[in-house]
Structure 1
C-alpha cells in the first residue's frame, strides 16, 4: 500500500506538469494563429543555446513570413508574438504606441539601480526622463561635443600610424573600441581614458565585462524579460556587481567633485548635473543610470558599426575608394575634419546605414503590451503584458525589401532609394517615440572614426579574416564571434 502511495505522489505532479505544458502550448492553436511548434522546455527557442539571436530570428522569419502578418512563439511555456508585416509594425511602434509604450527590458531599480536607465524604464518614469533628456541630444549639443570626438579621432589616427608601419594585420574591433571608449569617457564623464596607452583601463574592462561576458546567459536574459515581476521579487540583478560598483562610484565622485569646485564642462555629465539641480527630481542613482546607458550604448554599438563597416569596405574595394574620396572631398571643402565636414559626407553616411542594415546592434526589437490590443483586421487579441517581437535583422535581410540582401550596397541609401522604401524596412535605432535617443551622437561618432582612418589607411582582407562572419552566441548585442581581422596599410 505504501508503494502505491509513493507512486501516486511521484506520478501525480508529473501528470499535472504534462497537462499544464500541453495547455500552455495550445495557446496559439486556440487563437487560430500560425506558430512555430514548441519543444519542452525551451519552447520555440530549442536551438537558442547554440546560435546567436540574429540567426535564430532570421530562420524563424523565413519559416513563418508567408503564413501571415504575425505568428506565435513560445519561450519556455510563455506565449509571445512576432510581427513581420511592415504596416503592422508601424502601427505597433507609432500609431498605436500607447498600447506598446514599453520595451519590456528587465531592470531592478531596488537591487540594481544602474539597470533602471532610459532604455529600460517604463510608463510615466520613462516619459518624464525622456522629456528631460531629449534636449541634450540636439544637433546644437552634438556640435558642442564635436571637438572632443575630433580629438579622439586624432589620437586614433596617430596611434595607427605608429602601429601599422608599412602594413599590418590588426584586430580592428579592438582599435575601434578604444576610440569609442575615449570618446564616451570624455563626452559622458569628462575623463581622459587614454585607451591607446592603457588598453586595460577600468572603463575598457567594464565595457568588455558588460558586453562580452554578461552576468547571465542568453536563455536566462530571455527569462528575466519574460518574467520580470518574479525576478524582481527574487532580487535578481542583471548587471555584474563590479560594473555597477565602478560606474556608481565614478558618477558619485565626479558629481561631488564638480559641484564642490563649481566645474562645468561641455559634456553629458554636466547636462545631467544641471538637470539634477534644476528641478530636484533626478536622484544621484538616476544620474548614474543615465550616464551608464550613454556609455554602454555609445561604446559598443558605435565601435561595432565602424568595425563591420570596415569589414565590408575591405571586401568591396570600389565602395572603399568611393567612401575615401567622399571623406577627402569634404575635408578639403571645409578646411579639415570639422563638424560641417562630418555632416557633408553623403556616401560615407550611406556606407554607415548599409552597415546598420546588415548588422543592427539589436537583432530583435521588443515591445510589451500595456493593455489588451486587438490586431487590426483580425480577431486576435494580444493580452496585456505579452511581449511583441519585431525581427529587425531578418527584415533588413529580406529580399522583398532589399534585392540580394546579403550584398553590401551603399546605394540602397541614396535619397531616391530611401524614398521608395517603407519606413519600417530599416530599424537599427527602433522607431516611434522610443526611437534611440542617441542616434545623432552614434552616427556622428561613426562618421568621425571612419573618416579619420579612411583618410589615411587602406583596408583589405587577410588570412585571419573570417568569411562569412559568425556571431557571438551570448553577447547582449550583435558581435563577431572571434574578433575581426583586416590588413591595414598606409596610403
Structure 2
C-alpha cells in the first residue's frame, strides 16, 4: 500500500510537472519559429516573455528596441516576439515611409486596441483606430490650425512671463535648480488654461491640484509600469481581465472635472477660446472643419476600415478622453524636450550664446515682445529644438498594426494581418548612417543642405503621415516660448549636480533622466538692450 502511494506521489511530483514543462517548451518552440520560417533575422527570445524580459523589469522599452535596432545592423527589418505575439521591427526609412504614408490604409492601427468600454479615457485620438479614429481626427483638426494657435499664443506668452518672474531670484543667486519640475509646471499652466480655461498657477503653487494629478499620471510605480508594458505588448490580456492602464482615481477625476466644466459653461453661456470650447462645439455640432490637415484628403475606402461617414458622436466621455491626452501628452513631452534642450545648451555654451543672440534680435525687431510671427522667424532656435528631438525623442518608438495581409514593397516579406509593426524613432535618429557622430549635439544637421542629404524618414519625432501628431505645432510653439522665456534673461550652466553622462530612467515610457535635471541658472550679463 505504501509503495502504491509513493508511486502515485512520484507521478504527481515528477512526471506531471515534467509533462507541463515539455508542453510549455513545445508551444513556445513552435511560436518562436515564426520568423525563422520566413527567413527573417530575429534576436533570440526567452519564453514566456519573448524579447522583452528586460523591458518588464530593468529597461525602458524604447531603449531596448533601440538595442535591437543596433543588433540588426545591416538588415532592413527584423523579427521580435512580444510574449507569444510576433512583431516586426522596421529599420529601413523607405519601408517606414511605405507603412506610415504610401500604404497607410493597410497599417492605420496602433496594434493595441483601445478599450474605452472599460476605461473611457482610452478613447482618445492616439489610441483609436479605423473609422472612429478618422472621424475624430477630422473633427479635432480645427483645434490646432494656425488660426487657433494664434488665439492660444497669448496664454503661452503670459505663462512665459510668469516663468521669467519665477526664475529672477534663483538667477540672481546663481542657484542650482531641478529644471524638469519647473518646466513641467510651466507646461501644466499653459495646458490647463488652453485646454480647460483654468488658471492653476503651478509655477507659484507647485502642489496645486492640477500639478498633483499630472504627477500621478506619470508617477513611476511597479504596478503602473507593468500594466503599461503589458498593454503595449499583450493588449488582449488587459481586455480579458478588464485591467486599467490609468489609476481609477485619475480617470474619475478627469471625467468628473470635464463634465462639470462643460455643464457649467453650457448652463451659463460661457465661451472661451480654448480646447474645451471647441470640444463643446463638436458635441453640439456647431463647429465647421478647416481643411488644414492632410488627413482630409486621405482616401476613405470602406475596405481599409476608414470609411468617414460611419456614425460617431462626441459624447462627454469622448471629450474627457481628448482633454486627458491633450493634458498628459502636452505637458510631459514639451517639458521633457525643454529639459533636454537646456541640458545640451548648458553643455555647449557656444550654441547657447548663439541662441541668446537670436532671441535678442527677435525681441529688438518686435519691440521687445514675443510674437507668434517672431518665434516662427527664429531659424536657429528651430534647428536647436529639432536637434534636441533627434537626440531625445519623447516617444522612442511608435507602432502600427498590419490590418490586411500585404507584401512589403522591394522585399520578399509578406506581413500577416495582425502583426504589430515597431518603428524605432530613437534607433533611427541615433544611427550614424543617417546622422554621423550621432552623440554630438549639432543643430546644423537641420540646415536645408544637410536635410537634403538624408532620407526624410530618418527623422520622425512626431511620427509621419495621416497619424502625424496633431498637437505638433502646439507642442513646438509651447517649447520655443518656454526656451525664449528662460534664455532671454538668463543663461544655464552645468553644475556639480548635473548628470554627465545622462542616465535614462528605465521606469518611464517617456524618455527621461533618473534623478531629474539639475542646472545652474545665472542672470545674463551680455543682454543687449532692446
Which residue of 2 is the match for residue 140 of structure 1?
Answer: 147
> Which of 400, 409, 413 is the equivalent residue of 1:380?
413
Which residue of 2 is the match for residue 399 of structure 1?
Answer: 432
1:253: Cα distance to partner? Answer: 0.8
1:478 aligns to 2:486 (yes or no): no
1:371: Cα distance to partner? Answer: 1.5
1:96 aligns to 2:83 (yes or no): no
Query: Could you state the TM-score of these two structures normalised by the residue count of structure 2?
Result: 0.90
Which residue of 1 is the match for residue 65 of structure 2?
Answer: 57
1:54 and 1:111, CA in 2 relative to 1: closer, same or farther beyond 3 A?
A: closer
1:193 aligns to 2:225 (yes or no): no
1:231 aligns to 2:238 (yes or no): yes
Q: SS where residue 216 of structure 2 aligns?
A: helix
Find the aligned partners of 2:344 and 2:37 in 1 and give their Cα distance: 46
> Which of 262, 273, 295 is the equivalent residue of 2:327?
295
The 5-angstrom pairing of residues 138-287 of structure 1 reads 138-213=145-220, 216-278=223-285, 281-287=313-319
Is contact 1:106-1:238 (8 Å) kept? no
Which residue of 2 is the match for residue 458 of structure 1?
Answer: 491
Find the aligned partners of 1:219 and 1:19 in 2 and give their Cα distance: 27
The 5-angstrom pairing of residues 61-80 of structure 1 reads 61-66=69-74, 68-80=75-87
Q: SS where residue 229 of structure 1 aligns?
A: helix
Moved more, 413-422 or 311-320: 413-422
1:212: Cα distance to partner? Answer: 2.7
Which residue of 2 is the match for residue 320 of structure 1?
Answer: 352
Is contact 2:346-2:493 (8 Å) kept? yes
Which residue of 1 is the match for residue 469 of structure 2?
Answer: 436
Find the aligned partners of 2:411 and 2:438 in 1 and give their Cα distance: 31
1:52: Cα distance to partner? Answer: 2.2
The 5-angstrom pairing of residues 401-440 of structure 1 reads 401-440=434-473
Is contact 2:52-2:82 (8 Å) kept? yes
Query: Could you state the TM-score of these two structures normalised by the residue count of structure 1?
Result: 0.97
Find the aligned partners of 2:393 and 2:203 in 1 and give their Cα distance: 27
Question: What runs of 5+ residues in structure 1 fail to find an aligned partner?
Answer: none
**What do the CA deviations read for 1:49-83 (whole angstroms, capped 9, x no partner)?**
222234312221111121x2000011222211100
Which residue of 1 is the match for residue 26 of structure 2?
Answer: 19
Find the aligned partners of 2:378 and 2:219 in 1 and give their Cα distance: 32
Find the aligned partners of 2:77 and 2:518 in 1 and give their Cα distance: 39
Q: SS where residue 420 of structure 1 aligns?
A: coil
**What do the CA deviations read for 1:118-158 (whole angstroms, capped 9, x no partner)?**
00011110000000001211111100100110110011100
Q: SS where residue 16 of structure 1 aligns?
A: helix
Aligned length: 490
Question: What runs of 5+ residues in structure 2 fail to find an aligned partner?
Answer: 1-6, 287-311, 525-530
Find the aligned partners of 1:401 and 1:325 in 2 and give their Cα distance: 30
1:240: Cα distance to partner? Answer: 0.9
> Which of 363, 371, 374 is the equivalent residue of 1:331?
363
Q: SS where residue 284 of structure 2 aligns?
A: helix
Is contact 2:356-2:487 (8 Å) kept? yes
**What do the CA deviations read for 1:282-337 (whole angstroms, capped 9, x no partner)?**
00000000011111111000000001000000000010000111111111111211
1:2 aligns to 2:8 (yes or no): yes
Moved more, 404-413 or 210-219: 210-219
> Which of 379, 384, 387 is the equivalent residue of 1:346?
379
Find the aligned partners of 1:202 and 1:387 in 2 and give their Cα distance: 38
Find the aligned partners of 2:520 and 2:410 in 1 and give their Cα distance: 54
Q: SS where residue 87 of structure 2 aligns?
A: strand
Q: SS where residue 115 of structure 2 aligns?
A: coil
1:381: Cα distance to partner? Answer: 1.8
**What do the CA deviations read for 1:219-260 (whole angstroms, capped 9, x no partner)?**
543322333234213211111112111211110111011001
Find the aligned partners of 1:80 and 1:129 in 2 and give their Cα distance: 27
**What do the CA deviations read for 1:385-439 (whole angstroms, capped 9, x no partner)?**
1111111101101111111101101111122222332111111100010010000
Which residue of 2 is the match for residue 389 of structure 1?
Answer: 422
Which residue of 2 is the match for residue 309 of structure 1?
Answer: 341
Q: SS where residue 81 of structure 1 aligns?
A: strand
Is contact 1:113-1:285 (8 Å) kept? yes
Superposition RMSD on alpha carbons, in Å? 1.6
1:181: Cα distance to partner? Answer: 0.5
Find the aligned partners of 1:104 and 1:273 in 2 and give their Cα distance: 30
Moved more, 231-240 or 393-402: 231-240
Is contact 2:179-2:339 (8 Å) kept? yes
Is contact 1:93-1:432 (8 Å) kept? yes
Is contact 2:113-2:129 (8 Å) kept? no
1:99: Cα distance to partner? Answer: 0.9
1:12: Cα distance to partner? Answer: 2.4
Is contact 1:189-1:269 (8 Å) kept? yes
Q: SS where residue 41 of structure 2 aligns?
A: coil
